[in-house]
Amino acid sequence: MFQSVFQRHWNPYVVLIVAGLLSALYFGLTSTVWAVTGEFTRLGGEILQVFGVDVSGWEYYQMVKLDGSTWTRPDGWIVWGMFVGALMMVLLSNSFKVRLPQQRRRYVQGFVGGIIAGFGARLALGCNLAAFFTGVPQFSFHSWIFIVATGIGTFFGAKLTKMRWWKGKPSLARGAGKPSVAKTRVIQPYVGGAIALVYLGFVVYLFSTGQKLLGLGALFGLAFGVLIERGQICFTSAFRDLFLVGRSLMTKAIIIGMTASSVITFVVISVYDMTPITQIAALSTLVGGVLFGLGIVMASGCETGMMYRLMEGQVLFLPVFAGNVIGATVLAYGWDNLGIYDVLVQGGDKINLIATLGPAGAILSTLVMLGVLYALTVYREKSYHRNFELKRGVA
């Protein structure tokens, strides 16, 4: 039992279905959604304020509500709860280890990729979570533009990272090729257990003092962090591996998770007469999605992948995290100060499929589009392996 929970990664289909259900439940309880880059943007604004920069007049911060601090916002505790949940599971599985990239250029590539991804995500008003696990289930049309655009950006990112100038000269570490035997880090599970107890005690404190929304953010953030680490959920690898090596497991699992979340969210909206959350569909969605897809491949990880990999001890993702915050903050500045809103966003509109097609049309069209996406994934997988076999036969 212990091995299956902590020593092995969990089936991504199960993980993503559970994540989809929890996402729908969180919306039902709070009328808000599971997201991370919005809080990255607010965090950037808070850092600027520490250095005396007045961001109160920036329209983007008025839109995303830069109120209080990251510790007094449910969205803040979603993010920090995800970090804690991922770290807790890494320690309980005895797998934390500081890992440095073999090439120093990876720090720069990760940092630049993080900036591009953070900028693109906030230009599109949300990253992969805001499109895949909240946008689609909320029937916001912008999410489908973002999904297609992310696929395009990821495709070109995969091409970029295969170039010799990007990869650089291979560096072989001393003793490379020999299996390494790590010393047993017996203390890690105890530290992970202690973190879990302290954090859950904090969640109880939040609920007992009437801070329900903060408690829900902290609790669901913890659950999401546990899931992304145990399932090794990374939207970057899902798209990149599909294009590069025809591996479709993660992509198909994400689509199944989106389907489960869409159905449950539809039930929640219908039964409780809730208003779905809709984002603007505009040229900014397309451009932001392409930049996001390109950036996450350059950085070797999207926001979810970055979070659990950083907690595993992969130092590369420190500059990726910093880049995400910087990119999101630059977008917040440029929204009105550089005219980004006027050029890319102003002509757009909030389009929700429920309002446009009716409830039945919205859920049916969403399921059909998810089915098409699944079929295209299977086609790409089979096409890659068929071409691979043909090339091997010719060789």
Digit-coded pLDDT (tens) for 219-278 = 999 999 999 999 999 888 888 888 888 889 999 999 999 999 999 999 999 999 999 999
Q: Which of 216, 192, 221 is nearest to 206 (CA)?
A: 216
Q: Is the pLDDT of residue 176 over 50?
A: no
Q: Is the pLDDT of residue 184 over 60?
A: no
Torsion of CA 237, 153, 101, 246, to 10 degrees: 40
Is 115 a member of any domain?
yes
Is 258 a member of any domain?
yes
**Helical (H) or strand (E) element with 256:** helix 249-272
Is 174 a member of any domain?
no
**pLDDT-derived band of residue 394, with 50, 70 and 90 as boundaries?**
low
Please list the residues that pair with 281 across neighbouring strands. 349
| Average pLDDT score over the chain | 91
Per-residue pLDDT, 395: 57
Residues 214, 81: Cα–Cα separation, whole Å: 11
Is 395 a member of any domain?
no
The predicted-structure confidence for 360-375, as pLDDT tens digits, reads as follows 999 999 999 999 999 9
| Range with the poorest average pLDDT among 70-84, 89-103, 173-187 | 173-187
H helices then E strands: how many in the chain? 18, 2
Total of domains in the chain = 1
**pLDDT-derived band of residue 346, with 50, 70 and 90 as boundaries?**
very high
**pLDDT-derived band of residue 3, with 50, 70 and 90 as boundaries?**
low
Mean pLDDT for the stretch of residues 192-211: 98
**pLDDT-derived band of residue 187, with 50, 70 and 90 as boundaries?**
very high
Q: Is the pLDDT of residue 306 over 50?
A: yes
Is 176 a member of any domain?
no
Mean pLDDT for the stretch of residues 189-208: 97
Residues 335, 116: Cα–Cα separation, whole Å: 15
Mean pLDDT for the stretch of residues 60-88: 95
Domain range holding 59?
2-166+188-389
Is 273 a member of any domain?
yes
Is 175 a member of any domain?
no
**Phi, psi (degrees; rounded to nearest 5) at 105:** -60, -20
Is 183 a member of any domain?
no
Residues 372, 377: Cα–Cα separation, whole Å: 9
